[in-house]
Every structure is written in C-alpha cells, then in structure tokens.
Structure 1
Amino acid sequence: YLQEDYFLKDTVKNEEVEYYVSLMESHKNIQCIQLTDQAVVADGDSEYKDLNKVKFKQRYRVSCQAALWRKSELLKLIREYE
C-alpha cells in the first residue's frame, strides 16, 4: 500500500522490497511489513533479519504509511464502510 501523494526522496531499494516480498511468500505468518519507520513502534526483534515485531494493539498499526500487506489480513481489519 502506498498513497499517491508521497514524494520519493531517493531511489527505491528494489532488492530490499523483493526480499520482503519473498519473505512474506515463504512465511505465511507474516501479515504485514512496514516499509517506513513512521507507522508503528517496534516491540522487539523478530526472527527475521532486519525486521521487528510490533504490538498487536497499538495506535497506527494500520496506517497510510508505505507497507506490504497480506491482502486477506488487511481485509479482516478494515470496516465494512471503508
């Protein structure tokens, strides 16, 4: 997910994004990977390189920041009118 009004200030790190996509494809328990450090507060290291766990119930866990979401998880979280 990425809103269209963001400004890219540097080149996109395609290798990093591809790594995260492949990580999600091979580990079905990963529901979301935030691509910025502005959305959620880390809650400790995860078992995956360069990723942190986040608290399930925290403000802005679902936000408009750039992220890779498992579609089924995101659909469970949005309200019917959204």
Structure 2
Amino acid sequence: MRRVESPVSVKAGPSIKERLLIRFIKSRAIVGKNWRGVLAARDPFFNTKLGSDYLTSVAQAVSDRSRGNVDRIERVTIALEKAAGIKSTPIV
C-alpha cells in the first residue's frame, strides 16, 4: 500500500522579534519622545549603564532588524507597555 502525503502549506508570519518590535513601536508612540526618561524613572534598572544599553539596543533594532537581542527587546517592550498602560500579552 502506497502512502500519499499532501503538502502542508505553512504561512509564516512575523517572527517573535518582529512582533515584539511592533509592540515596542506602538508603546513608544503612546509614551512619547521621552520614553527613555519615563522608563528610567519607573524602573531603576533602566537608570543604569546596562539598562541604558538595553534601551539603545532596542532603539537600534527598530531601524535595523538584524540588531537587538530578543530578550532585551522583550524586557524593554514589557516595561514600556506598562508605562503606556497597555496590558501585556504573552509572547509566543
């Protein structure tokens, strides 16, 4: 007996990184131009050298998607969503 398999079409959507960056951009638009200052005031981590590096990394990832670590983008995005009053959704 011959087994016939049909091809499965998989529609690839945006990657986790791209979805996080979309959420980051929306949150940043709500918080405003001083989003870095808002995060630094709300979370002491972002008022450190390492925290500042996270913010810079995410800002660079917006213009160059090859940059930025997903974990850094996630941390900044979740913090920014809290500052913007947006309920964070699971990242899957």
Scaled by the length of structure 2, the TM-score of the pair is: 0.26
More helix, by proportion: 2
More strand, by proportion: 1
- Larger-Rg structure: 2
